[in-house]
Amino acid sequence: MACRIVRLKSDVRERVLEEFRFRGVRRTYGEVDEGAPDLCAARVDCQLGVAHSGRDCERCPRLLSWTAGPTEREVTLRCAWLHTDPVADRMTAAPAIVAVTPSRRCVEADRVAARECVHRLLVVENDKLVGIVCRHDLQRALPERVHAVMQRDIAIIDATATLGEAAAMMRELDVGCLPVARDKRLVGIITRGDLVRSGLREEKLA
């Protein structure tokens, strides 16, 4: 098994990143425990695995606007995302990552993926990333163990890389997700869906 940090080569970086320029507006929701809906009092669900308060959002340069609703205990935020934003701000952070062990039966792992509404699972053993497996592979080998079908050669992107770089690497490597590392430590995962929901046109990844 090999985990390797992937980066764009310097001689192609500028050209490739120009191709993956984007600006998107994403709607996010927050919840207020009591009182009138107010951004400062809200808990905002803008990144899985990371707790954000409305006060954090007020200081965020991505915030375009917010309104009360759709329910009496919610607020709705509109936030702008750019290809230059860091992967660390858009990834699913480590506390929310859905993972299984390599000894888990594929049928059980597939149930986990279905329950959590994810297409791919990280495979972790003794707190170390050892593989990635997608539901398609799990469903072709339900009686087997996860280690029999998981991908062992893992491309990892640095947390400081941009969303445009992540998109370019996903297309170059023909993968649907990239684990994210900071100082050689797994801190999250970024997927094609995250990029598309941020404003990248899906056909760019084809």
Peptide bond into 70 cis (omega under 30): yes
Total domains in the chain come to 2
pLDDT value of residue 5: 77
- Do residue 184 and residue 96 come from a single domain? yes
Q: Which of 12-21, 48-57, 113-122, 130-139 has the lowest mean pLDDT?
A: 12-21
pLDDT value of residue 2: 63
- Do residue 113 and residue 181 come from a single domain? yes
- Do residue 189 and residue 95 come from a single domain? yes
Mean pLDDT in residue range 74-91: 95
Of 82, 101, 133, the one marking the end of a domain is: 82
pLDDT tens digit sequence for 131-146: 999 999 999 999 999 9
With vertex at residue 171, the alpha carbon angle to CA 106 and CA 178, rounded to the nearest 5 degrees, is: 50
| Closest-CA residue to 110 (of 142, 148, 132) | 142
- Do residue 101 and residue 63 come from a single domain? no
The residues, ordered by sequence, that sit 6+ positions from 131 with a Cβ below 8 Å of its Cβ are 1, 102, 122, 123, 146, 147, 150, 151, 152, 154
pLDDT value of residue 51: 87
**What's the predicted TM-score (pTM) here?**
0.87
Residue-wise over 74-90: b if at least 16 C-beta within 10 A, else e? ebbbebbbbbebbbbbb
Burial class (CB in 10 A: 0-12, 13-18, 19+), 54: buried
Identify the three-state secondary structure at position 189. strand
pLDDT value of residue 108: 97
pLDDT value of residue 60: 93
pLDDT value of residue 1: 46
Measure the CA–CA gap between 153 and 133, rounded to whole angstroms.
Answer: 11
* 109 or 34, higher pLDDT: 109
Mean pLDDT in residue range 25-49: 89
pLDDT value of residue 90: 95
pLDDT value of residue 78: 96
Domain that holds residue 50: 23-82
